[in-house]
Structure 1
């Protein structure tokens, strides 16, 4: 019965508005129900009352009423333990389909310490921590992904059974944020189209060579680690990246037409793998998709890589 009631309340809260951060829990509707321990506690009180009535035992009545008063007061402390919290911020990073999104949620108590606060998305792993007064504590929550595109998580649930575990209080929150999931990379031979002056090159080539050293250039964030001139850094001459003769030639295109498979999702996954390989190799590369052409960006640029992966993730 308790599970049926809780599921009915979850369905009601799922129709509520989406929330943005920061968010004070006191502004939300807070629910509370007895736990299994609470039902057992109530049964014990009723048993004591029944025995006291049967034997006309006044100390028994006093003890039963004392336990009942303690249980009723615990409802106030259980709700207060959750109500005084504030959701400060959250952050996450895009992942590939099938991987976990790690959702970092910061909670803060501006008044007194809060104990045994449990946080987790519905049907996902729950994390329980204490929150000291005046400090923000980060809860690192996992979210499982199955397919590429925009991922909308289930309700975020904050709950507590402090202090006695007789009642469980919780809030169910629909987060405003949507999360981007990249396609799952599937290995594919590195075959790409060369860029010509018109941008319509038809030749193909294997992975461009990187054996002929050209010169050094200032390190740029996102440059592959294997391109860093470690010996120069060890001599105290600063952080530099190596460039090669192949980089001064034509850029390459990763093209939708170069993947010969009839499965659309498999083709997208192959293209995702090629983008990752091109980024790791440090060659200038572009991406050709139906109706979309992304010109080659700077070799090794994270922003360019993420733009290509986002285009693949958002393909209809």
Structure 2
């Protein structure tokens, strides 16, 4: 058999997935309505119906009015439970308030706001089946933090999130799948402990810089009124009567360029992880560093903003932006 041919189970699974996705497009604000919510009886619900049938057969066989009343009461309770179970999810609006950027392989914290239309909601489970589900009950606007499963490097596009409930009696299970649109990134996992590359200040090179500062003693100069009293050479003034000011040099650090050529021999993800580790090391050492990835270039600098730009460049390098989940 040709391996390119899909099995019926896989074909049906993909068709069902595409159908679910067409009913639940990715969005940062999602309202749960009748188009999105599914409901079926639970095992306990089917058992309840079986009991209703048995009571009905007994009532019919013995013409027992009390048994008929019990049968109809049990059936009414079953139907009313279906309505309340569905209404427990209906009308909830989910708003994505943010998702943190993390390293590849780490769970992603996602912050949601649940709007309820002023109705009390009970025992609602939400989350991703691959991670821990969270149970919540709320009556007004509710902030909920969830952990999405680990993702690969690139833009964070979480898989389908499950929201379900069996409230109030457990006769029915209602659920929905939603696809959240979160604006965050998954950075390459940093590879620490790899020595920095050696070379000149060109590609992958480095350069040492020095400026006036307070670290290393350099010499003396004439006193100026704006000089700090702590830098005045008072011992010399006591001997010669001349005011002198101490001068110091402060190394600014090293300026480095990083590129994939410096980590040849590894696969792409390993290369990006090494570059990420180098960026973190330079940031801790206050070195200026730049990146060259293909046609993209980031000029040397340091600081939190520069580190974020470097991580963004590394996270999105050679990434397919198509949404397949």
* Interval of TM-score (by shorter of Structure 1 and Structure 2): 0.7 to 0.9
1:281-303 C-alpha deviation (Å, 9 max, x unpaired)? 22221122232221112x3x222
* Inter-partner Cα distance in structure 1 for 2:258 and 2:167: 56
Name the TM-score, length of structure 1 as normaliser: 0.76
Which protein shows a greater Rg? 2
Question: Once structures 1 and 2 are overlaid, which stretch shifts more, 153-162 or 250-259?
Answer: 250-259
1:279 to 280, 283, 286: 283
Question: Once structures 1 and 2 are overlaid, which stretch shifts more, 285-294 or 57-66?
Answer: 285-294
Residues 259-278 of structure 1 correspond to what in structure 2 (within 5 A)? 259-278=263-282
Unaligned stretches of 5+ residues in structure 2: 1-12, 217-248, 319-325
Counterpart in the other structure of 1:144: 149
1:303 to 291, 296, 305: 305
1:91 to 90, 98, 116: 98
Contact 1:120–1:158 (8 Å) recurs in 2: yes
SS, match of residue 48 in structure 1: helix
Q: 1:28 to 1:131 in 2, by over 3 A?
A: farther
1:147-180 C-alpha deviation (Å, 9 max, x unpaired)? 2123422222222211111111122222233642
* Inter-partner Cα distance in structure 1 for 2:15 and 2:172: 18
**Per-residue deviation at 1:38?**
0.9
* Inter-partner Cα distance in structure 1 for 2:106 and 2:299: 29
**Per-residue deviation at 1:250?**
4.8
Contact 1:194–1:252 (8 Å) recurs in 2: no
> What is the number of equivalent residue pairs in this alignment?
273
* Inter-partner Cα distance in structure 1 for 2:199 and 2:107: 35
**Per-residue deviation at 1:121?**
2.7
1:257 to 256, 261, 266: 261
1:52-93 C-alpha deviation (Å, 9 max, x unpaired)? 222222211110110110110111111111113222333111
* Inter-partner Cα distance in structure 2 for 1:189 and 1:123: 33
Contact 2:98–2:112 (8 Å) recurs in 1: yes
Contact 1:16–1:174 (8 Å) recurs in 2: no
Name the TM-score, length of structure 2 as normaliser: 0.74
Counterpart in the other structure of 2:196: 191
* Inter-partner Cα distance in structure 1 for 2:35 and 2:214: 62
Contact 2:206–2:257 (8 Å) recurs in 1: no
1:61 to 68, 76, 95: 68
Contact 2:122–2:136 (8 Å) recurs in 1: yes
Please say if 1:16 is aligned against 2:20: no
Contact 1:89–1:105 (8 Å) recurs in 2: yes
Question: Once structures 1 and 2 are overlaid, which stretch shifts more, 187-196 or 303-312?
Answer: 187-196
* Inter-partner Cα distance in structure 2 for 1:176 and 1:123: 18
Please say if 1:117 is aligned against 2:124: yes
Please say if 1:33 is aligned against 2:35: no
Please say if 1:164 is aligned against 2:166: no
Question: Once structures 1 and 2 are overlaid, which stretch shifts more, 33-42 or 186-195?
Answer: 186-195
* Inter-partner Cα distance in structure 2 for 1:32 and 1:161: 10
Contact 1:33–1:167 (8 Å) recurs in 2: yes
